Every structure is written in structure tokens, then in C-alpha cells.
A and B are shown apart, each in its own frame.
Chain A
Amino acid sequence: MTKAALNQNELRALRKLTGEPEVFSSSIQSSSLLSSSTCDAMSSMPVPDAPDSGLLVKISHAGACYLEGQTRNRRFTPQFPGNEVAGTVHEIGNNLPNANFTVGDRVMVLPKEDSINTGYAEYVPVDDINRVIQVPNRVPLEVAAMLPGDALKAYAAVNCAAPHVEKLRKVKSSVNILVIGGSSLGLWSVKLAKYMMGRNCNNVRLFVADNSIDRLLTAQDHGCYDIIHWNEEDHEQYIVERTLDSCRGGVDVIIDYVGTNRTMQRCLKVLNREGLILVGGNKPCETSISLSTLAAKQQSIVGVPRGNVNQLIQLLNAVQEKQVEIPAYKVFPVEDANHIFEEICECRITERAVFRFGSQSSGHLVDNH
């Protein structure tokens, strides 16, 4: 088995990419990275045993996850799977009676709440088979790999916003939705919003805001109504004015995947009465909110919910039936992970990157442009 272990140079590059060693070493990821640095890049690790009541999944594809908002000029923290993984059943536990799984089944894995990043591993033991979802043949595994992560999170967010939007559509001639963060989460939100609104979406406008022009142009290509440049170097008042210039009549629903105090303060300045903010916090940070204003304007702030297994199955079915368009993605060999994260960091890659593990397929890249 090949483990995508990092040699000394790669570790140094990644350390540079992710910030100061002292900061890096305080995280769990650091310990796993440091431990993996003791392995030669070409060495072979033993294949773990299947858990007695679970499955051993051989990974074929993994999404390249990172925390939203942490690109360009900021510390960039790759998130190793398993947050987004798909592959095949390699071994079935001895104590799994009446299992519906067979060796070779195509599956994707819903991450655990407290999943610990273990680096890129080709084999993942899964204790709880409820987290393993069979993937129909019509859905490529590189697409399936994306679904349990950003796609599911975006689906949960859009689901949470949907009742509010429906209520507003009945009383307003147009409803403005603002998605903050133009990377994979934002792109999935654009596609999923279209899916959920169906054909009658004439009076709903979905805007995407981001610091990166490149990501905004990608969002535009994905069919959002308009894009707004939240340039971090610009004065806050310019950003607010620019947003209100675009979202005529103010914003009714905001999905904020970046979740900083700055984004929250901007949200509160553009949000309409009876507006809703869905916020996904990426890191510990606080914000101040005027409770009297919140009450007087009947506004709500809700955390972006984690998606659940049922939603993941709904999402998988919608993808299978081609009711949801897949945002642009590119498949890369997992050995190139460090370089790919660097490209993502510099916004030279604005599509979702998916890593392919070598033994599953031949050398050609899959590109769905």
C-alpha cells in the first residue's frame, strides 16, 4: 500500500504554506504530518484490518478540503480526509451479520463529527456502517467523493434557507440571497439553489461575494445572478456600498461560509428587516451584535447546520437523476497534493480539486470542462 507520506522537503514546503512551525505544531494535523514524515514517500504501510462490525474502504478519490476564507494573504490549512472520500469496499468485518455490502461495492463515507485527520491514507476503516453510502454506477466516484463534504454542507444550508425564501417570495417582488465565499461551498450553493427552486425562480436573485476576483468569475460562470468583490483591502464602507448597489433593495438571506467578525458586520449592514443570516464559523472568533436592532428588525442568525445521512442520500439521488449540475472540478493524482493546495491558495485553481489515488485508475486526468 502506498501512503502519500511527505518527505522532508515536502514537509518544509507544507509548513511554509500553512504558516509558522510553532503554530503548526500545536494542531493535531501537525502530529500526524510529523509522524508521517518519518516514512519514506515510497514506503509501504500495512493494510489495516477491517473493524469487526464495520468495513474497510479502499479510497479511490478524496476531495481537497480547506477552510473557507483562508486563502491569499492568510494562513492556509489543508484538511486531510476523511471529510470527502469515496472508494470501494475492501474487506467486511467478521461480526457484520446480514450485511448489505459486498467486497468491491462502490461507496462514499460520511465523516464523523469529530473526525481526526490522519493524512492521505489509501485504506480507511469505518466502524459505523451507517456512515457508508452505496454509490450507484451512474455516479462517478470522483463526484461521489465531493458529496459528503462541501456539497452536503451547502445542501443543508440551502435547505435551511429555503422555507424563509419561500415565505418572502409570496410577499416580495424580488428576493436577494447573498452567498459569502466563492469557493466550492459557494459553487455548490449556486447549483443547489437552482435545483431546489426549480423553474419558478424568476424573482430570486443569488449573489456571490468573495475576496478573489478569480473565484468570483468562476461563480459567475456557474450561473449566479451577480458577483460582488469583497476586496479585503478596501474600506468597509466601500464594500457595503458596493453590495447595496448590486443587491438593490437590500439582502434578505445571507449564507456566510467565511464567518468572521468582518463578514458579520458587513452582513448586518446590508440585511433587510426580517432577514436571515446563516453563518458557518471556521475558527474561534467573536462578533458584537446589537440585540435591540436584531429584535426591532426581526432578524435571525442561525448556524449552518451539518448535513445528515438522509440529506446525503437525497443529494446522491438528485445527482444520479442529473437534477443537480455538478460544479466544475478537476482530478489530480494524490501525489501532487502539496502543489495543488499551493495553486488553490493562490486562486490559480478555482474549481474543486479532487485527488485520485493511483492504483484505482490509469494516468489520465479527468476534466469535466
Chain B
Amino acid sequence: MPSNLSSRTLLKGIPRKTLYEAENILKPLELTDDCYRKVMEIMNQNIEEGLHPDTHANANIKCFPTYVRSVPDGSEAGVFLALDLGGTNFRVLLINLHDQEVSLESKIYMIPQPIMLGSGDQLFDHIADCIFKFMCDHNLHDKSLPLGFTFSFSCRQAGLDKAILTTWTKGFKCEGVEGRNIVELLHAAIDRRKDMKNVRCLAVINDTVGALISCAHSDPDCAIGLILGTGTNACYIENLDNVKTWDGDNDDPKQVLINSEWGGFGNDGCLDFILTDFDRAMDNYSINPGKQIYEKMISGMYMGEIARLAIERLRKHKLLFEGKGSEQLSTRGRFYTKYISEIEGDDVDNFAMTKEILEELELTSPTDQDCRLVRHVCSLVSKRAAYLASAGIACLLNKMGRERATVAVDGSLYRFHPFFHDLMMEKTAQLIQPNLSFKIRLSNDGSGKGAALMAAVASRLPREEQEQNKLNGAMKETSLNN
């Protein structure tokens, strides 16, 4: 297990002048606790704005209600299909739920670029075709299959099975989908085929809801779903009383999952006080300049680029690689975020992995000092990301005020970075109110399993309503306050 070295230990042996100059350049990446508390304060205000109809339209943190009122309690059973669309890899899953046991089969289908940029009908026809192929492979054509859909793009939920795409991200640009209900589009594509009448989508969620629901299946304290991957987002349980934008019923449980869309935090410039030149340079060349500021300071799509810009700056000041760079190091997007995880997990006696990465970037003969400085840059960038995510989590935990809560996390940044969990535990504990306690744990395959569980919960609702009618309301739904 690699150890999280202190800066002092890592930078031992580097000449004082070099260290002084490097630290001057990198200093803006280190934020004070006061900064994190101010971030929390502003975030809390933004969330309030998102939850109120008067301010919702202009809010940076949209706080969309998900219409998910119940979470699994472990009693779910049956066979369900799940879809997971969050990028160029589209997954179809078959999930069997039985007595808290989950068995799962899945297949990845690729989405070619012409379909990512074509018409919405083409995209959903492709999705329906993938579902059909999966059903053929698994002999499912004569089975009734409730389906849960994890659609990890920015959506305004209008019902459990209604999600209006607000804007495409992640390289998708299909015509005729923004502003439309994606479940409707999926059903239309299925109906166009005329050979998949047994497939109906009962629930559409995003990956944060999936993470929470997947974790809740075995942990009743689960109250926050968090994604730390290519992007970042969080959902949490909110009292209906606080959701002024709520337009649904007020039945028990009087709570709903809120999809915060917190990646948009900072769009109005409220985070400018912590932006560095590296952040600004990266934002300028992004596909959405000035948008998703909080996300760009945390998530995997951008973290590697921030590190690359910092390393290039040091190189230009002749503090790295004797001032000589490479075309690769100068190429935007070339310093993958996985490099950060690999470098920080490296053995500091040999820096074998670090040297290999630098060689992939065509940087030859790096010195021990080069490796230490590169690792230091990676450490600063990832620590800031972990702490900013912690500030967000602490804000939500304080807002909910639950004595005990579990945060369910998914995403490559959390899964593979050697220290992200520990950094978040440390900083979140520092920032929450003293009477609260929390756990942060990995949610396994929230996008797939969570979607199936949501379909299970959704398919349970009509049956429960019948039972309630029959028993004159004696039966109650599982409460989120279990």
C-alpha cells in the first residue's frame, strides 16, 4: 500500500532555490480551510436558490427533484433490465434480485461518433438495437422485462419515468433530444421496431441516484450519492417542505432525492476567488468555457489537464526536465488523469511508474528530482479536488442534519486514486457539524444495479397501491427514514 507522503518528505533533497521557485508557482493550488468553509457557505446558498421557484431559473446548482421517494430496503425481487448511458460505452444489463442477492450479466455496446453527433432518432434506434441484440443473446423475448435507465447527462426530472434532457455534455450532440423526455424517445424507438413489446422503461435516473440506491440496498443509512469520475455530481435526500419547486404529491415518505447538478457551481463567478491561472487556461480551451467551474476543479476529465499545465509552467521556468519539453507534454488533454493516480501510487525509491509515464510523454532521462516535483504537482491537484468534493459533501451533510449518514461514491477518481478516500474522510470530518457522523463508501456498479433496483421499486408501487386500497391504507411504503 503506497503511503501518502508529506510534501516535506517527498521534496527532500531538492535544492532550496528550486523548491522556492516551484512552490511560488504552485502556491495557488493550496487553499486554506477558510476557503473551503466559504465554498460551503456559498454552496448552501446556491442550493437554497435551486430549491426555490423564484430563484431556480438563475440558480447555478439546479437541485432537480428526481421523483425518487423510496429507496430499496432489501426486499426487492425479480428480473430486470438496466441501461447505462454515460458516454461512448453503452451498457445493457440483466439483473436478478433475490433475497438481497444480486446476480448480473452485462454487455458493452459502442456508440460510434456519427451516432453521437447525428439525430436523436438515430441514437435511440441504436440503443433499441443494442437492447434487442442483448435480448437475443440471453433468450429474453418471451419475458416481461421492466427496465431502469441510468442516463448520466444533465436532466430535469418530471416524473419517475420522465426526464427532460437540458443539455448534452461529454461529446454528444444529437439533434432533437434537448428539451425532450428521453423515456418517450426510447419507447418511440422500441415501438418503431415492433418486436420488443415486452420492454418498458419504468424509471430513469442518473448515476448519482444509481450510486445511492445501489448502496442503500445494503446500507439503510445511505443518504448521499456522489460521482467522482469523468464528471462530478451529487444527490441527497431532502425534506419535501424544503423543496419549494416540488409539484408532486405529499404522501409519505415526505422526502425526495434531489439531483443537485453541483458541477455547475461557480458558473456565475462565485468561485473566482479560488481559481488559479491553470484553471482559467484550461477553462478557456474547454468545450464549455465559463461553465461547470466546480466540476472542472474536481473531476477526472479536467484534473490531468490542470496537472499538465502546472508541469509545463515549471518546465518553462527550467525547474523540470532541464527546461526541455516534448510535443506530447505540450498537447492538450495528453496528460491523462489516470497518470495522476499511477504517479501518486508509485514507489518513491525508484519512481518506476513515473518514469514510464514520462517516457510515454517523450520526456527522456528524467532525474529523481523531476519525478519528485511531478509527483508533488499531482498531489497538490488531487488534494485540492478531494478537499473541494469534501466541502460539497460537508455542506450536504450539515444541511440534512442526520446524526448518521453514509455517502455512496462511484467513479474512477474515487475508485482508483490511492488517497482520495482518506483525503475526503479527513477533510469532511473537519468541516461537518460536531454532532454528526458519516461514512464514505464505494458503491458498486450504481449505474447498472441502481437502475435495476429503481425499476424494481417502481414496479412495486402499483402493487402496493392496490394492497393499500385493499387493506384500507394499512400498508405503508418503506420510509427513507428507516
- A interface residues (Cβ-Cβ under 8 A, vs B): 19-20, 23, 73, 75, 213-214, 216-217, 227-229, 232-238, 242, 245-246, 261-262, 285, 288
Contacts and interface: CB of A to CB of B under 8 A. Distances in A.
Contacts of A245: 106-108
A232 B334 CA distance: 10
A262 B107 CA distance: 24
A233 B334 CA distance: 9
B154 interface: no
Q: Which 8 A-B pairs have the closest CB atoms?
A: A235-B338, A235-B416, A235-B412, A233-B336, A213-B110, A20-B327, A217-B112, A213-B112
Contacts of A213: 88, 110-113
Nearest to A20: B327
Given A216-B110, A235-B416, A229 B89 contact: yes
Given A213-B110, A261-B356, A237 B415 contact: yes
B331 interface: yes
B341 interface: yes
Contacts of B331: 73
Given A234-B338, A235-B341, A235-B412, A229 B110 contact: yes
B254 to A, nearest CB: 39
Given A20-B327, A73-B331, A75-B327, A234 B412 contact: yes
A93 B103 CA distance: 72
A178 to B, nearest CB: 15
B334 A73 contact: yes
Contacts of A229: 88-89, 108, 110
A261 B360 CA distance: 10
B336 A232 contact: yes
A262 B336 CA distance: 14
A189 to B, nearest CB: 20
B435 to A, nearest CB: 37
A252 B326 CA distance: 38
Contacts of B334: 73
Contacts of A242: 89, 108
Contacts of A246: 107-108
15 contacts: A19-B327, A73-B334, A75-B327, A75-B362, A213-B88, A217-B110, A217-B112, A227-B110, A229-B88, A229-B110, A234-B338, A235-B341, A236-B338, A242-B108, A288-B352
B301 to A, nearest CB: 9
Interface string B314-338: 0000000000001100010110111
A205 to B, nearest CB: 13
Contacts of A236: 338, 342
A121 B391 CA distance: 65
Interface of B: 88-89, 106-108, 110-113, 326-327, 331, 333-334, 336-338, 341-342, 352, 356, 359-360, 362, 412, 415-416
Given A73-B331, A233-B336, 9 more contacts: A73-B334, A213-B113, A214-B113, A217-B110, A229-B88, A232-B336, A235-B338, A235-B415, A235-B416
A236 B339 CA distance: 10
Nearest to A238: B412
B324 to A, nearest CB: 10
Contacts of B327: 19-20, 75
A228 B110 CA distance: 9
Contacts of A234: 338, 412
Contacts of A75: 327, 362
Nearest to B114: A214
B19 to A, nearest CB: 31
A260 to B, nearest CB: 8
Given A75-B327, A233-B338, A235-B341, A214 B108 contact: no
A259 B476 CA distance: 60
A224 B327 CA distance: 36
Contact of B112 (A73, A214, A232): A214
A213 B112 CA distance: 7
Contacts of A228: 108
B314 to A, nearest CB: 21
Contacts of A232: 336
Nearest to A246: B108
A288 B352 CA distance: 10
A285 B362 CA distance: 12
A225 to B, nearest CB: 12
A179 B461 CA distance: 48
A85 B331 CA distance: 35
Contacts of A288: 352
Contacts of B342: 236
A364 B341 CA distance: 52
B361 to A, nearest CB: 11
A246 B106 CA distance: 9
A213 B334 CA distance: 18
B289 to A, nearest CB: 21
B116 to A, nearest CB: 10
A361 to B, nearest CB: 32
Contacts of A262: 360
Q: Which one of A216, A228, A235, A238 has the greatest number of beta carbons of chain B within 10 Å?
A: A235
Nearest to A228: B108
A6 B416 CA distance: 48
A217 B88 CA distance: 13
A350 to B, nearest CB: 11
Nearest to A260: B360
B304 to A, nearest CB: 8
Nearest to A265: B356
A238 B86 CA distance: 15
A295 B123 CA distance: 48
B443 to A, nearest CB: 16
Q: Which one of B113, B331, B338 has the greatest number of beta carbons of chain A within 10 Å?
A: B338
B102 to A, nearest CB: 16
A288 B230 CA distance: 30
A233 B89 CA distance: 13
Contacts of B360: 262
Nearest to A285: B359
Contacts of A285: 359
A229 B89 CA distance: 8
B138 to A, nearest CB: 13
A217 B326 CA distance: 32
A227 B416 CA distance: 25
A326 B81 CA distance: 39
Contacts of A216: 110
B126 to A, nearest CB: 12
B477 to A, nearest CB: 35
